[in-house]
Amino acid sequence: MATQDPEAARAKALRKLQSLAQIDDPEGVVVPILLDAILMVESYRGARHQISFLPELTESVDTMLRELTLAEKAELWAAE
């Protein structure tokens, strides 16, 4: 979706990030992602070949997305 409609992807991500306050230790989840993002950008900037460790850098983002999804679902269940 992000490659087809970047603006819609940004809006969706911002809506998801609004749930950060509802998860345990939001700073502990976000800081590793920021570090991974910096490493990804620096890797792409200097890369002239395939970057072998990019899959590991996405793990923190995947963890945050799982936590946010759980927080959203818990909020929906609580509202029922």
pLDDT of residue 42: 76
40 burial type by CB count under 10 A (0-12 exposed, 13-18 middle, 19+ buried): middle
Helices then strands, each counted (H, E), the chain:
4, 0
**Residue with the two structure tokens 């759980």:** 70
pTM of the model: 0.56
Amino acid (one-letter) located at 51: I
pLDDT under 50 in the chain at which residues?
A: none
Assess contact for 71 and 22: CB atoms under 8 A.
yes
Q: Which one-letter DSSP state was computed for residue 21?
A: G
